[in-house]
Amino acid sequence: MKKFKNSEITPEKIYYKRRSFVKSIGYSLSAMTLCSVPLIKANASNSNNLTSYKDITTYNNYYEFGTSKSDPYINAQNFKTKPWNITIEGEVDKPINISMEEISNEFTSEERILRLRCVEGWSMIIPWMGFSLSQLLSKVNFTSKAKFVEFESVYDPEQMKGQRYPVLNWPYKEGLRLDEAMHPLTTVVTGLYNKKLPNQNGAPLRIFIPWKYGFKSAKAIVKIKLVEKMPTSSWMWASPREYGFYSNVNPNVDHPRWSQATERIIGNNIFSPRVKTLMFNGYGEEVAHLYNGMDLKKFF
């Protein structure tokens, strides 16, 4: 993770002014080493204002620390993230074990303003700090059997009180098809608002896939495994009728218990009208080709 000096941490009010160009451009590009990654589109109805640092860090889904939105902020403050190692294994020529210090030294985290869409019907615009997952995966050579990537979060019920209850099948697991994982928008997140990633947001390292629902983004990752068969994620295990493997944002497919056609923007006045949900969360231009020929109502 990039180490930030106090002078590099921008006060939120100044940060908003510095990022005000988001309102006036149709497209921006982040300065990534290996690829250019499109930032959020300003012409999207819900893309013009960054969500405040306070809202991002106090309104969270992170069941390892509790099921209420405020639980992660309350219960994760003393979560220990040092030392921290991540294993990359499975269908690779040689497994590796890499520390967060090594990741910090080898990869540069850059700003990526990307929209988070929750399956519950709310959204945020977050200035993440991170880099493409493909850069991290390039440290291993895949075998010809590698078709999917499985992510596994830490299992530590002593620190994570939510894991003491069978709310989900612990440890938390998620998965992507290999081409989804290698897409440049699939981001290894190390921070937000130019600060290190808070515990309640998945420190020290999480994955974020902006065209998918937020639950696809595993937090506090300790293992990345290349596999031949589609992995069963924790939410698929809990409720396969409600949570499919692909979990692409598709406003035309309702959740069994509510509509996905509109969303509430966190931070807006509670009386503000809901806005239309965009296909692929607004990233269709970049990712729709990954699903050519697929029935996106069946493969939800």
Going by C-alpha positions, the residue among 54, 74, 85, 56 that lies closest to residue 160 is 74
- Residue 216 pLDDT class (50, 70, 90 cuts): very high
State the pLDDT at residue 271. 77
Sign of CA dihedral 231, 235, 237, 241: negative
Residue with tokens 């300003």: 42
DSSP string, 9-30: S--HHHHHHHTGGGGT-S--EE
In one-letter notation, the amino acid at residue 135 is Q
- Are the C-beta atoms of 69 and 55 separated by less than 8 Å? no
State the pLDDT at residue 31. 31
Model pTM score? 0.87
Helices (H), 182-283: 234-238
Query: Could you tell me how many helices (H) and strands (E) the chain has, helices first?
Result: 8, 14
Pairwise CA distance, residues 285 & 300, whole Å:
19
State the pLDDT at residue 272. 80
Question: How far lies 107's CA from each of 1, 33, 54, in Å?
Answer: 8, 9, 27
Pairwise CA distance, residues 65 & 103, whole Å:
26
- Give the rounded percent of residues in the chain with a pLDDT score beyond 70: 84
- Are the C-beta atoms of 211 and 283 separated by less than 8 Å? yes
List, in order of start, the domains of the chain with CATH numbers: 6-291 (3.90.420.10)
Query: Does residue 23 surpass a pLDDT of 90?
Result: no
- Residue 300 pLDDT class (50, 70, 90 cuts): confident
State the pLDDT at residue 39. 55
Pairwise CA distance, residues 119 & 248, whole Å:
10
Count of Cβ atoms closer than 10 Å to residue 36 Cβ: 11
- Residue 13 pLDDT class (50, 70, 90 cuts): low
CA dihedral 250→35→45→63, nearest 10 degrees, is 60
State the pLDDT at residue 297. 86
In one-letter notation, the amino acid at residue 229 is K
Query: Does residue 151 surpass a pLDDT of 90?
Result: yes
Q: What angle do CA 63, 39, 281 make, to 5 degrees?
A: 55
Structure tokens at 261: 């056609």
Residue range 87-141, pLDDT digits in tens: 999 999 999 999 999 999 999 999 999 999 999 999 999 999 999 999 999 999 9
Residue range 172-187, pLDDT digits in tens: 999 999 999 999 999 9
Going by C-alpha positions, the residue among 68, 96, 76, 9 that lies closest to residue 219 is 76
> Which residues, at least 6 apart from 104, have a Cβ–Cβ distance to it below 8 Å?
1, 2, 3, 190
- Are the C-beta atoms of 71 and 65 separated by less than 8 Å? yes
Count of Cβ atoms closer than 10 Å to residue 102 Cβ: 14
State the pLDDT at residue 14. 45
Query: Does residue 44 surpass a pLDDT of 60?
Result: no
Query: Does residue 230 surpass a pLDDT of 50?
Result: yes
Phi-psi region of 143 (alpha: psi -120 to 50; beta: other; left: phi over 0): beta
State the pLDDT at residue 225. 98
Going by C-alpha positions, the residue among 284, 286, 201 that lies closest to residue 249 is 284
Residue with tokens 């990526």: 112
State the pLDDT at residue 28. 32
Averaged confidence pLDDT in the chain:
87
